[in-house]
Structure 1
């Protein structure tokens, strides 16, 4: 957690600066201005967080130090500079960003209080009104960030801070290239879900040390109302729609307006009179309230069932009347392509839904092209064991492109015989990985040279450039339905930022292959 705060006055050390060049120490003054007073903790990226004081302006500050500085600290410093340009009451103020090569540090506002993560650890899930108020503040902060063309990239219960004065602030912008405006907005759904249930939906908004959402047999998260009683239906719908990638995410500005309306209703305790959600998912100027997509789908499904029942009874009525109606029988026959006609010919039935192809450890291996150390050999089995808690744990690299050592790494799937394929489903530990699917005719061998040939000879399913995925789960298709495949390569070409420390890294939890 990055703990920051405000309003804490402490006198500067009268003895003057402590000149050290190793680990920071209490009393040391950085840049002849920022005196370190207390080591608070280390944040999720392994940086040291200190409470300090600006001896020039006599105000408390938070100092975040990283070892070393230089190129490895570029992203942190750039994010700080960008964040300093956005002034908003729900954003932590950034005061300074300094690179000394040996170390780099960001100086920012200190806020007396605790993170949303720690708050729930002490008090448990929040009441709906308080959850709405916190999410409203976070969305408002994101509106200001997005208005500048930037993204925050690190909306999480650990970076959502609750001041002792009730102020809610968002801290620790990351500004990673893999982040997006949509991911920021969906993370507000994660904040709501966490505030209401105490769980953080990993697959929908990013892996975390926080407990994952309770899920059904299909992997879908339980709605807040299924977890605890007393949550209004409109709030339940809003939370789940924000987490559902099948539902278009609203702009942060529209979400802020909606949460503001709900916030006002909560203050007046008019929970049941709020009505449907008002932001329009598809954009445009319509002011008609937009209904939950899930409810629309249920309505459409019901109409389809009613129509099907009507058609069945209509056909039975025609057949039993003994008076065939030529026009009616033509319409009924139009929907029965599998039935033979008078001449005995038949039309092929539609292809069935794809089924999961069982994969075993002896059907997969790691592909690590030359200049790789091939240390991950043997870990491919964890990607096909139907256990999301096990994974191919990749090594850490200094840059997202594998430290310029190779084009990428992947898992080669060797089927016993050629199959007609439909799609590959992949689950990884961290959003932001770039993954593509490649196919070939043979496996040249589990050697450095064999892997080199695979990367050189295999063909990508798509001609477009591979883009970083916004979430933890990805479905890739593009297989030719008229062709059969035996060798399929799931290939990672870009790594996301390591969530557990410096550098870039991702774990591949599960790979599933579907075909006919």
Structure 2
């Protein structure tokens, strides 16, 4: 794993370490970081080592630079700035030390591969996986921008994919030419690269070791669908518009929010099954090269999809409750299967008793400060609620989302799930899994990675319901997964879940 890949052709040339000072396996830096293996050198000569923090007994990446002092000031300044932003999609920075003869930065060790290495081994990725990676990068960039800083070094070599599936952005290095818009365009370039294997080097800063985009007669990068089949219309337009220099890029938090709706990690059905609304050019108000309207109009298409998804959910629940038989051809909610009349059980559902011990909060990227009072969501009273903290940025700009996990006590058939919220505006999807690995950070990350979708994300109007369960299947672990919180009217965001009801035979 190259913890720091080749950089973008920096002009600086670093001096080699003096022979007597050259690092060796077993060297102990700052009486704490033991060098275990030399990994690589980047394009400007920084040495990258795998090390061990001998105090905390954890692997770390050590980036060494010779000499230290004034010539290392930029590297150390960038490391200090990066250490102030804590986010699950950013590589953690632990330490930065200047010893005059050398300087080094200690950061999180990521066991895996870079995006460049991944595509070199596998070729272009499927749309679902490409979207998940772009969403993670967008969330990381939004978190950096929320602090007033810029990243400035987003390319396939600094996007790292851990073996557990986690995607992290590394090696922030903004300079005087970096802008927030450049960072956002690079998010689009990451999506474009993941889909095509080509990097739009004329639209964003060049990336080492990857081919430029294929270009049309006017010199524009062609859309991803012109390079490969199977890219959904909406994703094709999204990637093409983000890298198009004729459009002003939107803020990173808005891009992260849009990608949250596309993200296959939260909405597999959205990408893997035909969408009820095709995101064609006319639906989005977008036109192909030479005359597309501004990128922001994509939000209209997304809003239309969410409205139809909410309407579909309502119709499905009405059918289960004994709605008009002639309407059954419209199917179940959000594209799910319609209940089978022969199953019988779905036609006579009853609330499944739930205690406070059967629900918990899943917060894989948070500070663990919002885990209490989950029992209020199943106490039978709408006057009580579990509440998030108040956020000053959209949720996915801070972390990948939050969830409420429900343990039904054992495998059983389920007819419907219903949730009541204090206010409208939450984006919620329903997932299910085979086990609850426990309430710690690692357990929450496993839940996020392993639980599969029953619905795509929809924006609620105060209540939410799903009734498209397979009547012949059994479920034990369900999770409501939130990727957006309601706006509170004062520039912030906060969610209050009053009651969750699960029904079954």
TM-score scaled to structure 2, two decimals?
0.52
Alignment of 1:222-301 (within 5 A): 222-263=222-263, 264-268=266-270, 269-270=272-273, 272-273=275-276, 276=279, 291-292=285-286, 294=288, 297=291
Change (3 A) 1:267 1:81: farther
Tell me whether 208-217 or 232-241 shows the greater mean CA deviation: 208-217
Instruction: Give me the whole-angstrom Cα distance separating, in 2, the residues matched to 1:21 and 1:96.
Output: 24
TM-superposed CA distance for 1:101, in Å, is 1.2
Indicate whether 1:216 and 2:216 are aligned.
yes
SS in 2 for 1:204: coil
TM-superposed CA distance for 1:153, in Å, is 0.5
Whether the aligned pair in 2 keeps the contact of 1:139 and 1:253 (CA below 8 Å) is yes
SS in 2 for 1:65: strand
Instruction: Give me the whole-angstrom Cα distance separating, in 2, the residues matched to 1:214 and 1:295.
Output: 14
Q: Which residue of 2 aligns with 1:38?
A: 37
Instruction: Give me the whole-angstrom Cα distance separating, in 2, the residues matched to 1:103 and 1:51.
Output: 17
TM-superposed CA distance for 1:223, in Å, is 1.3
Q: Which residue of 1 aligns with 2:153?
A: 154
Tell me whether 207-216 or 185-194 shows the greater mean CA deviation: 207-216
Tell me whether 265-274 or 150-159 shows the greater mean CA deviation: 265-274
Q: Which residue of 2 aligns with 1:165?
A: 164
Instruction: Give me the whole-angstrom Cα distance separating, in 2, the residues matched to 1:72 and 1:224.
Output: 41
Instruction: Give me the whole-angstrom Cα distance separating, in 1, the residues matched to 2:277 and 2:94.
Output: 41
TM-superposed CA distance for 1:273, in Å, is 3.5
Whether the aligned pair in 1 keeps the contact of 2:233 and 2:278 (CA below 8 Å) is no
SS in 2 for 1:211: coil
Q: Which residue of 2 aligns with 1:458?
A: none
Change (3 A) 1:293 1:74: farther
Change (3 A) 1:207 1:295: closer
Whether the aligned pair in 1 keeps the contact of 2:286 and 2:293 (CA below 8 Å) is no
Return the index of the structure with the highest Cα Rg. 1
Whether the aligned pair in 1 keeps the contact of 2:286 and 2:292 (CA below 8 Å) is no
Change (3 A) 1:257 1:274: farther
- Where in structure 1 are there 5+ consecutive unaligned residues? 5-19, 278-288, 301-516
RMSD, aligned CA:
2.5
Q: Which residue of 1 aligns with 2:135?
A: 136
SS in 2 for 1:139: helix
Q: Which residue of 1 aligns with 2:54?
A: 55
Whether the aligned pair in 1 keeps the contact of 2:137 and 2:167 (CA below 8 Å) is yes
Whether the aligned pair in 2 keeps the contact of 1:232 and 1:272 (CA below 8 Å) is no
Alignment of 1:361-400 (within 5 A): none
TM-superposed CA distance for 1:224, in Å, is 0.8
The number of aligned residues is 276
Q: Deviations over 1:171-190 (max 9, x none)?
A: 00002222111111000111
Alignment of 1:317-332 (within 5 A): none
Alignment of 1:192-211 (within 5 A): 192-209=191-208, 210-211=210-211
Indicate whether 1:82 and 2:81 are aligned.
yes
Q: Which residue of 2 aligns with 1:66?
A: 65
TM-superposed CA distance for 1:42, in Å, is 1.0
Instruction: Give me the whole-angstrom Cα distance separating, in 2, the residues matched to 1:262 and 1:73.
Output: 41
TM-superposed CA distance for 1:89, in Å, is 0.4
Q: Deviations over 1:54-99 (max 9, x none)?
A: 1111111000011111111111100000000000000000000011
Instruction: Give me the whole-angstrom Cα distance separating, in 2, the residues matched to 1:267 and 1:73.
Output: 48
TM-score scaled to structure 1, two decimals?
0.51
Whether the aligned pair in 2 keeps the contact of 1:90 and 1:138 (CA below 8 Å) is yes
Q: Deviations over 1:362-381 (max 9, x none)?
A: xxxxxxxxxxxxxxxxxxxx
- Where in structure 2 are there 5+ consecutive unaligned residues? 5-18, 295-505
SS in 2 for 1:231: coil
Whether the aligned pair in 2 keeps the contact of 1:265 and 1:271 (CA below 8 Å) is no
